[in-house]
Every structure is written in C-alpha cells, then in structure tokens.
Amino acid sequence: MTQFIAFIPVRPTPKGRPRMTRHGHAFTPKKTKDAEKELRFFLRALKPPKYKGAVSLTLKFHLIRPASSKRIQPVVRSDIDNYAKLCLDAFNGILYDDDCQVIVLHAEKRYDSVEGITIISHEII
C-alpha cells in the first residue's frame, strides 16, 4: 500500500457547470479547463503512483481568508464538492485510471496564508 502525500501550490478552483451554446452543444468553461490543466501539470511533475484498485483520497483546500470576514471559519462560496470534482477529474489518468476508483473521499476547506491543495491518497486493499 503506497501512500502519496503532496501539496500543490495552485489556487483551489471549483468545477464550473457545463455551458450550452445556442445550438444545444455543451462545453466546459475555460476557467475550469485551465484549472484542470494546471493541476495536471503540477501532479505529473510529482510523479505519483498510478493506482489500479480502489483508492482513498483526502483533499485539503487551502484558501485565503476573505478580508471582510471576522469569523474563524467563514462560510463563503464555493461548495466543497465542486472543488473536489475538479480534482477528481484532473487526476484521471495520472493518479488512477478513472475517478470511479475513488471509494473513500474526504474533503475540507481551510483558511490559510498560502493557497493550494494538499493531496493524501493510498490504495485500499
């Protein structure tokens, strides 16, 4: 069981909803495509193991605290599941063959002085 732990210094970005053209064709927003591409670039550089079986994945999204918030843990947009969806899709073909292999997922938003994403993964036997 190989555990992979990494911090990727990218701004966490939520996955955007598919958009439709006037002709009814769906497309992925440019911001989403660019964020997935950047995440893949950093992950490939780290040379993670490629899991063949079931995977447990922990994602910690480090965000900059909003300046206007007085709370320790402010509740702000975006939904945590949209952050996780972008990562799951970006990791396809690098960390695992397909995101359907992820059977345990833990995600959290943290407010920090540095933006990025911490990844902790291992194969479940």
Give per-residue pLDDT as tens, 41-100. Answer: 999 999 999 999 999 999 999 998 777 766 666 677 789 999 999 999 999 999 999 999
Interacting residues of 98 by C-beta distance below 8 A, sequence separation 6+: 92
CA distances from 56 to 26, 32, 40, 46, 105 (A): 31, 24, 19, 19, 6
Give per-residue pLDDT as tens, 11-39. Answer: 999 998 777 778 887 777 899 999 999 99
Predicted pLDDT at 12: 95
Angstrom distance (rounded) from CA 112 to CA 65:
7
Homologous superfamily in CATH for domain 3-124: Holliday junction resolvase RusA (3.30.1330.70)
Give per-residue pLDDT as tens, 103-119. Answer: 999 999 988 889 999 99
